[in-house]
Amino acid sequence: MAAGVGSMAGIGAADDPRLDNDGFGNSDGPTALRQKLHDPSIPIEEYLYYAKITRAEEDRLYGPGSDFQHTDGGATAFVKEKILRKRHMPSESGNDSSNEKANKERTHAPVTISDEEWVQASRAARTATWSAVFYLITTDILGPFSTGYAFSQMGLGPGVALFTVFGALAAYSGYQLWRMYLQLDSDRYPMKGYGDIAFRIYGAWFRHTCNALQSFQFFLNVALIVLTSGQSISQLSKGKLCFIACMAVCTIFGCLVGQIRTLQRFGWLASWAVFLNLFIIFATMGVMAHSPPNYALYAASNPDFDINNPDPIKVAGGSPPGLSLNDNVNGLMNAVFSFGGATLFVELMAEMRRPMDFWKGLLAADILIYLCYMVYGLYTYCMQGQYAYNVSYQGVSPYGWQTACNIIGLITGLIAAVLYGNIGVKVLYNNVGRDLFKFPILESKRGKWIFVFFVPLYWVAAWVISQSVPQINSWIVLVGAGCILQFTYTFPPFMMLGLKIQRDAILPNETFDPATGQVTHVDSGMKRWIRGFKKELAWNLFDLFFYLGSCVTCILGLVAAFTTMVDAYKESVNLTAWKCESPTG
């Protein structure tokens, strides 16, 4: 999905005249351009004021009834003709050395950009439509290969109920992020990431929390994909290649390919990944219908299992017998992991020409993803019962189909890992390196060298972590409970509560002066918070209940993840850190 995000923009980050007018970090633009990216002195009233203006202008330019044509015109043409042209002014007389020197100095001098040019540049960076967003959300979230295992841990009834509830709540939290974005984003103060919403509602502390957790999620995603890819290579070699070497191959690949900085070059690759995953889905469904489960794989993690006399396949309507609460929570966290995608919703909306249409892409994607999960998850569980494996295509018994799906899964997995690693390194660079260590912009020469150095460190660290605990189920639960659950279910209602309390506490006689940025309040403190909370009491109580329920689920998930990790080492024969034997047997 991240590849699509990069490829949607009409103007790349290095060419965005809002960010870097001369290519070297200098700027002599309007007031908004010169202000700090995250200025704590800006009141929420100012964000709300300019957001209303921006939404009205977007509706006028691109809304129903407008004569906008999907061509390279409008704001994009304005930027190319007026702003970017200012950077590279041609020599007006001759080609002598003095003119070339003057032209070079002029090219690298600060460029003055008017307020109108700033607004046009802001719009020019937004080119995506809701249909593109639908494709990107589907690309990012759709990954049904753990759903069969999730049903085997919860049973048919609880599985359908929980997948339905979490799917609906994921759609609701996506709606909340969309509403907050519309009310806080503007051409004057554009938002680029999840942490920007957190900052504008709660301040710098919550922005740093979101950025740190986002970095941690991308890192664990890379570690998880390195582990699954290593298992694919191990199965391809029939266990003859040392498992440490299998994972080292994936790490080396990531260190090399991860040096590509611009996500635009991954766009076509990510598009193919979607169709390859669809092939795996249909292929495994056909194979499961005509062959038994992979009993050898099940025996690798269950030492008491008799592979020569396996129990018949069992499908439970309720909670499967013999499973503990930890097992049930593991299945629940797989459902959370399956619907987790809100981490990058803000980045998607930041790329849209008309963010008001985001709900169309979100709703269409959620319905398609839910139906895919239901069909594939239920089918896998009914075909393989308690033997359903995570990842599903590694749980089919014919070696030829194992090989084909492993090769395709290896390709799509490594593509995803490189993309997550790319974003993860950039998040760390921009939010830790630039904020704390004063790193230069990533597009600068020194920034590029720092990026080159960081990439192998990032991948090697992911390899060490995943090789130390080579257990896929535990990592999925940990990532789901510790990270994805927060961005998809916990943070959205928490931030919506903060925004609505501050917004609804504003009285009619309280004023905001856009000329000076000054706000006049008649009161402050708890009285103001209570007034804002009571304005939409029913919705605020629901969001509060939603937030507290997510916190409880997070705690249950983390306890289950760490308990499963410890128990896996006690019960499994092959599950040992830094061992040549594969945990898949």
17 contacts 97 by C-beta, under 8 angstroms:
no
Q: Using one digit for the tens of pLDDT, what is the confidence trace for 53-75?
A: 988 888 887 777 665 544 444 44
Residue 271 has what pLDDT? 64
501 contacts 532 by C-beta, under 8 angstroms:
yes
**Which of 14-23, 81-90, 127-136, 502-511 shows the lowest mean pLDDT across its residues?**
14-23
The pairs formed by 404-411 with CB atoms below 8 angstroms and a separation of 24 or more are 404/283, 405/280, 405/283, 405/284, 406/232, 406/233, 406/235, 406/236, 407/232, 407/236, 408/276, 408/279, 408/280, 409/145, 409/228, 409/229, 409/232, 409/280, 410/229, 410/232, 410/233, 410/236, 411/273, 411/276
Would you give the distance in Å from CA 369 to the centre of its chain?
A: 16
pLDDT tier, 23 (very low <50, low <70, confident <90, very high otherwise): very low
Q: SS3 for 525?
A: coil
Whether the pLDDT of residue 2 is over 60: the answer is no
Q: Using one digit for the tens of pLDDT, what is the confidence trace for 543-562?
A: 999 999 999 988 988 888 78
Q: What pTM, to 2 d.p., does this model score?
A: 0.78
Residue 498 has what pLDDT? 96
Q: What is the mean pLDDT of residues 452-479?
A: 83
How far, CA to CA in Å, does 201 sit from each of 195, 211, 484, 494?
A: 10, 15, 21, 10
Sequence-distant (6+) residues with CB within 8 A of 63 are 354, 356
Sequence-distant (6+) residues with CB within 8 A of 277 are 142, 143, 412
Q: SS3 for 90?
A: coil
Residue 176 has what pLDDT? 96
Residue 444 has what pLDDT? 81
Phi, psi of 219 (to 5 degrees): -65, -45
Whether the pLDDT of residue 264 is over 80: the answer is no
Rounded (to 5) percent helix, strand, coil in the chain: 70, 0, 30
Q: Which residue has the higher pLDDT, 100 or 482?
A: 482
Q: Using one digit for the tens of pLDDT, what is the confidence trace for 115-124?
A: 555 455 555 5
> How big is the chain by its Cα radius of gyration, in Å?
26
Distance, CA of 549 to CA of 547 (rounded, Å): 5
Determine the residue type at 525: G
Whether the pLDDT of residue 334 is over 90: the answer is no
Whether the pLDDT of residue 574 is over 90: the answer is no
Whether the pLDDT of residue 515 is over 80: the answer is yes
Determine the residue type at 149: Y
Query: Which domains are seen in the chain, by residue range?
Result: 17-52+61-122 (no CATH), 128-504+536-571 (1.20.1740.10)
Distance, CA of 102 to CA of 520 (rounded, Å): 50
176 contacts 492 by C-beta, under 8 angstroms:
yes
166 contacts 141 by C-beta, under 8 angstroms:
no
Q: Using one digit for the tens of pLDDT, what is the confidence trace for 32-46?
A: 443 456 888 899 999
Query: DSSP letters of 281-309?
Result: HHHHHHHHHHS-B-HHHHHHH-TT--TTS
Token readout for 285 is 């469904």
Averaged pLDDT score across all residues of the chain: 78
